[in-house]
Chain A
């Protein structure tokens, strides 16, 4: 906990506005995309809400992974000189990202209340999506942090991987477009769409979309924006993702502890 506090303090030390910077980020997004969406006519009404409900989740995920993967390396001095539970290093990286996420979600919620409105049954998905997001992030962060100590190119690989991953997730484009392209096709006898949804972040992001953006087909006669599936279907995918991330967490935790005894030596 103290380490999260430290990271935040370091982040905002000697900056006049401090944590306000963190809030400014989604505000600028909201402002910019209100106009840009109009110019582009992206086919997604209320684009800022759609974009941010997914992007904030993605930001938490990618920041946690990037800084978490470096956390043990960056604190090598500490690991080599002080005896302490090493897992707090990646966990605090997730913690810092989590605090940013919550602050920024606050901004988004205010925007939604003011310009968009909450949709009640869908909003119930938010806690489930949130818990899944955190678990996925923690599991991957722990695993990468330990792996990065042994193989230093994990960090570089991650940066490239995240770019691909970002576009493999329906964040800036409408989820339905991906669904439509995948529909009908099969790989190895499995529907192609299943592969798309196999991406755990897709399940999470689509969960946030359904919880906050909520409307599958905002304009009658036009194509849907979100996955054209039932609420239960989204909840089901989230549930499966949650179960999978729990299993992943178990593995990552075991891996991290098996490796952490040798950190001091390998750094």
Chain B
């Protein structure tokens, strides 16, 4: 990736002084020159580059330093050592409704909040209608915010933040609030931001969200970077490390390994194995199988799942397709040729499995290990030959 880094975090450390009892008065400070402060390192030597236009997911258990890192990036906290370099207008959603004044009406708070995020009065005037429409609380805009429900506050807060036209958006755990419809709307908005090439840093506990919308993920563990890389790898690590057990709903890899998945390639229409997949273009999933011992009637299957919902959209299996794989030992290649991938733009996971057709024994399954992204490209209007049947009949 040659794009410039939008946010550069270099060797960042953050120390908090934890006082048993914080000496905040002059008297206490004079009397106890040696205050009983204990150092607590919330972050240690964090280095992360966030490329312009990319989406980074920050995950980790409670107290791992996610929010502290986000606050350092936002400029709310000053790093003890190291640096954060950041380009572009930044909007941070650390807590929705932060900066709302309960005595003011929704309308007044929109203007106040927007001004904190760096928007002029005139710019807010222009965005105002969109904000109200997005928040869906039109009737309440003239009521004082203290009468709002928490859901309404959250909606208004998010609406303002996404309308201030940020180049960098920091989101802390806020997508988890609001009803499902509004959540979907927020995710949708985040996707729009991604398409518009904005940089997003997302702190969340919703690991599926990370896998669905992030380009990269960072897992923090006790203030250090524990894993950094592709979201599914990091999420897998997170699940292994933090849950200390294999998540029932997510078994990334299992099987007896009599036969193994040696390699999987998702081949695009033009032969590439990386990059976007154009909607309606053909797609080939190539599965290289290595049988470590002679296996009889191997059954290979692939499943494609929608990255946003995790629902399967496509499934293919050698046995049901009537393709028989005879007894073999060593390597074989199975190609699943999808003639045109018809589904909506977005990310899709691929699960690949090898099993015994006869006994159902699982040799090797890789759950949601592979990923590809489908985009819609406006096509040049071409003259297409549409067959027209002509009939003539007597009347």
What is the interface of chain A, defined by CB distance below 8 A to chain B? 1-3, 6, 9-10, 13-14, 77-84, 150-153, 261-262, 264-265
Contact = CB atoms under 8 A, between A and B. Distances in A.
A183 B359 CA distance: 112
B75 A2 contact: no
B278 to A, nearest CB: 40
A81 B95 contact: yes
Nearest to B114: A2
B111 interface: yes
A150 B24 CA distance: 6
20 contacts: A2-B111, A2-B115, A3-B112, A3-B115, A10-B101, A10-B104, A13-B104, A77-B98, A79-B76, A82-B76, A82-B94, A83-B74, A83-B76, A83-B92, A150-B24, A151-B25, A152-B24, A152-B25, A153-B25, A265-B77
Contact of A81 (B75, B98, B101, B104): B98
B94 A9 contact: no
Given A13-B104, A81-B99, A265-B77, 7 more contacts: A6-B101, A9-B108, A81-B95, A82-B92, A83-B75, A150-B24, A151-B29
B163 interface: no
Contacts of A13: 103-104, 144
B147 interface: no
Interface string B98-139: 110101100010011001110001000000000000000000
A264 B121 CA distance: 27
Nearest to B144: A13
Contact of A83 (B29, B90, B103): B90
Contacts of A151: 24-26, 29
A13 B74 CA distance: 33
B99 A78 contact: yes
Contacts of B29: 151
Given A82-B94, A82-B99, A82-B116, A264 B24 contact: no
B27 interface: yes
Contacts of B103: 9-10, 13-14
Interface of B: 16, 24-27, 29, 71, 74-78, 90, 92, 94-95, 98-99, 101, 103-104, 108, 111-112, 115-117, 121, 144
Contacts, number: 65
Kindly list the 10 A-B residue pairs having the minimum CB-CB distance in the complex, ordered from nearest.
Answer: A81-B98, A261-B78, A2-B115, A83-B75, A153-B25, A83-B74, A152-B24, A81-B94, A264-B76, A84-B116
Which among B75, B101, B144 has the highest number of chain A CB atoms within 10 Å? B101
A267 to B, nearest CB: 10
A223 B98 CA distance: 59
Contacts of A265: 16, 77-78
A153 B27 CA distance: 9
Contacts of B95: 81
B104 A6 contact: yes
A243 B74 CA distance: 37
A225 B78 CA distance: 54
Nearest to A84: B116
Quick one: which of A1, A9, A13, A81 has the most chain B CB within 10 A? A81
A150 B16 CA distance: 15
A10 B112 CA distance: 12
Nearest to B16: A265
A82 B111 contact: no
A264 B99 contact: no
Contacts of A150: 24
